């Protein structure tokens, strides 16, 4: 179900938008005079640009389309993710983690997340290990972002899905390759401003169309008896209430969606590098209010509008949102926008989603490209970072992400996002936190913490967490069941298992290591 959108008006607006974005890409190209500019934007970025770039990178189509559609299925319980994102993703990230990352990164001359990790522990192993995780797993997240943007272009403009996918990917890759992180940061800032406007208007229009805040929320609450039997049987109690504590739905909402993303944000390399672009700690302080406002608007609106689409579709089609979207959660928000909203807003929201997707995609491409081209390829050849190697890395990783996007199943955006963030959290967050806090960090503890976290996450994904173990098809042929653990534990996210293992190993080994890394060893590491 699509809405007839004026082709001429859409083309004009999109052309203006693309000219603006590509112009900022050219600005980044002109401002890039050395490798440090390409990698960390010259370490002199304005606080407002940092906040908007961080927020726009964090909030992609995964949050708006993927998690909005998931909220339509599971309800407003996902609002706990908004709370966690503000506390962890903004306050802790900027004021605790960010200041340390900026200071240590500058002191050690680190230009990427893997390099910072390696220099803190004086270890090439950690550079290659973290780089391998990003190169192997980040295309999954990147593909999810590509799908979110392409699906909305498809439903809005009526262009073939593959055309939307390839065109979208090509434009983003162009300005990232040319302009580096300066281009990425400034395009992110503009895209973040568009996202704020689009989501604000969406919230207002949704409540206006549904009769106001009280009427809309009351109507959603009154729909509790309509909860599908399959969801009610595993703990869902309605769209305005929390699932039954400890139930499979509760496990999914809390451990996969809330914790997976809310804590996982701290281990995201494309976000950590934003802190390395700041001039000083005061810049990060000044970025916090805008960052918090951005997260509230982006996630809060998605988790409010998503459930409320059930009211709209029930009134107009007699179906719940997921049923109206043909069972594909990733299609709920695009379908709602195209069905319910006025023509001009459809175009505005297309730009909102394009901005969300492009801002995150550009950051992911830059991170993957610098990891592959600099941290892995160039270092293996005994060289340091070069712009050309990074550019080649970006192109290669874009092609890999496109290939994954083509074969990904439906309703995968939110889950793919949670999987990537879960792996990064389990494998890297404990060791990375130890590195930026400890005066003399333990390489022994960091190595085995990373191995334990990644291994625990992988084993639980393959053999216990039904959502992945069933799809992967490894557990059933070997053991005759889709999960080796009983319900509700088969809904416990691998992030929890992997992170707990990683922390335990880290805490056990730190006091046993008598040869911890000194500041002199950190500074002398190449």
Under the banding of pLDDT at 50, 70 and 90, the label for residue 352 is: confident
pLDDT at 413 over 70: no
Q: What is the average pLDDT across 450-460?
A: 96
482 lies in some domain: no
Length of the chain (residues): 526
Rg (CA), the chain: 22
310 lies in some domain: yes
pLDDT at 135 over 70: yes
pLDDT at 298 over 80: yes
Q: What is the average pLDDT across 355-372?
A: 88
Under the banding of pLDDT at 50, 70 and 90, the label for residue 3 is: very low
pLDDT given at position 1 = 40
CA separation for the pair 85, 155 (Å, rounded): 30
446 lies in some domain: no
316 lies in some domain: yes
pLDDT given at position 53 = 87
pLDDT given at position 17 = 86
122 lies in some domain: yes
Tell me the residue range of the domain where 364 lies. 7-421
DSSP string for residues in 476-514: HHHHSSS-SS-TTGGGS-HHHHHHHHHHHHHHHHGGG-S
Residue 278 β-bridge partners: 45
Q: Which residue has the higher pLDDT, 396 or 410?
A: 396
pLDDT given at position 44 = 82
Average pLDDT over all residues of the chain: 87
Q: Token digits for 82?
A: 């908004």
pLDDT given at position 62 = 66
526 lies in some domain: no
pLDDT tens by residue, 238-273: 999 999 998 999 998 888 878 877 887 888 888 888
Percentage of the chain surpassing pLDDT 90?
A: 39
Percentage of the chain surpassing pLDDT 70?
A: 96
pLDDT given at position 353 = 79
CB 182, CB 375: distance < 8 Å: no
HEC string of 157-213 equals HCCCHHHHHHHHHHHHHHHHHHHHHHHHHHHHHHHHHHHHHHHHHHHHHHHHHCCCH
Number of neighbouring beta carbons within 10 Å of residue 487: 12
Lowest mean pLDDT segment, chosen from 33-42, 214-223, 372-381, 448-457: 33-42
Q: What is the average pLDDT across 397-409?
A: 88
CB 200, CB 51: distance < 8 Å: no
pLDDT tens by residue, 201-211: 999 999 998 99
pLDDT at 2 over 60: no
Lowest mean pLDDT segment, chosen from 30-34, 181-185, 320-324, 455-459: 30-34
pLDDT tens by residue, 43-77: 888 888 888 888 888 877 767 777 888 899 998 88
pLDDT given at position 218 = 95
**Cα–Cα distances in Å, from 26 out to 57, 184, 191, 445, 497?**
20, 11, 16, 44, 45
SS3 state of residue 278: strand
CB 462, CB 474: distance < 8 Å: yes
Q: Token digits for 198?
A: 């689009």
**Cα–Cα distances in Å, from 509 out to 15, 126, 448, 449, 514?**
57, 17, 8, 9, 10
473 lies in some domain: no
Residue 139: Cβ-neighbour burial (10 angstroms; 0-12, 13-18, 19+): buried
For residue 153, what is the domain's CATH number?
Answer: 1.20.1730.10
CB 396, CB 402: distance < 8 Å: no
CB 369, CB 391: distance < 8 Å: yes
Residue 301: which of 72, 55, 68, 58 has the closest Cα? 68
CA separation for the pair 12, 5 (Å, rounded): 12
Q: Omega into 21 within 30° of 0, i.e. cis?
A: no
Domain count, the chain: 1
pLDDT given at position 430 = 96
86 lies in some domain: yes
> Which DSSP state fits 242?
P
Under the banding of pLDDT at 50, 70 and 90, the label for residue 163 is: very high
CA separation for the pair 174, 522 (Å, rounded): 36
């Amino acid at each position: 179900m699509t809405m007839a959108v004026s082709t001429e008006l859409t083309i004009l607006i999109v052309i203006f938008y693309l000219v603006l974005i590509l112009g900022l890409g050219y600005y980044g190209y002109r401002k890039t005079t050395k490798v440090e500019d390409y990698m960390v934007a010259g370490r002199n970025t304005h606080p407002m640009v940092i906040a908007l770039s961080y927020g726009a990178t964090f909030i992609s189509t995964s949050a708006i389309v993927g998690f909005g559609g998931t909220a339509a299925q599971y309800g407003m319980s996902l609002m706990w993710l908004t709370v966690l994102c503000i506390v962890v993703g903004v306050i802790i990230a900027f004021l605790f983690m960010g200041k340390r990352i900026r200071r240590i990164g500058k002191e050690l001359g680190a230009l990427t997340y893997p390099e910072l990790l390696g220099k803190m522990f004086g270890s090439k192993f950690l550079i290659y290990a973290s780089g391998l995780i990003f190169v192997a797993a980040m295309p999954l997240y990147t593909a999810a972002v590509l799908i979110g943007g392409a699906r909305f272009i498809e439903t809005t403009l009526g262009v073939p899905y593959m055309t939307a996918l390839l065109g979208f990917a090509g434009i983003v890759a162009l300005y990232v390759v040319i302009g580096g992180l300066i281009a990425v940061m400034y395009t992110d800032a503009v895209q973040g401003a568009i996202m704020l406007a689009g989501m604000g208007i969406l919230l207002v229009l949704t409540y206006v169309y549904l009769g106001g805040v009280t009427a809309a929320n009351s109507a959603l609450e009154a729909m509790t008896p309509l909860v599908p039997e399959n969801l009610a049987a595993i703990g869902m109690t309605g769209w305005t209430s929390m699932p039954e504590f400890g139930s499979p739905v509760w496990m999914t909402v809390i451990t996969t969606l809330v914790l997976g993303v809310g804590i996982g944000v701290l281990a995201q390399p494309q976000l950590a590098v934003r802190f390395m672009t700041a001039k000083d700690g005061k810049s990060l302080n000044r970025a916090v209010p805008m960052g918090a406002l951005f997260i509230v608007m982006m996630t809060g609106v998605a988790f409010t509008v998503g459930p409320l689409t059930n009211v709209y579709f029930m009134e107009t089609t007699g179906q719940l949102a997921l049923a109206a979207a043909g069972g594909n959660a990733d299609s709920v928000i695009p379908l709602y926008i195209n069905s319910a909203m006025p023509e001009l807003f459809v175009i505005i929201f297309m730009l909102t989603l394009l901005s969300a997707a492009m801002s995150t995609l550009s950051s992911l491409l830059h991170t993957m490209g610098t990891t592959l081209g600099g941290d892995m390829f160039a270092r293996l050849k005994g060289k340091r970072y070069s712009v050309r190697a990074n550019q080649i890395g970006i192109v290669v990783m874009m092609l890999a992400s496109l290939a994954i996007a083509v074969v990904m199943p439906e309703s995968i955006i939110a889950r793919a996002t949670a999987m990537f963030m879960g792996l990064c959290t389990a494998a890297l967050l404990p060791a990375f936190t130890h590195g930026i806090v400890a005066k003399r960090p333990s390489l022994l503890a960091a190595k085995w913490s990373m191995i334990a976290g990644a291994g625990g996450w992988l084993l639980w994904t393959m053999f216990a967490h039904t959502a992945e173990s069933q799809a992967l098809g490894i557990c059933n042929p070997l053991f005759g069941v889709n999960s080796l653990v009983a319900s509700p534990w088969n809904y416990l996210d691998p992030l929890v298992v992997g992170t707990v293992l990683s922390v335990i190993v880290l805490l056990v080994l730190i006091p046993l290591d008598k040869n911890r890394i000194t500041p002199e060893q950190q500074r002398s590491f190449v």
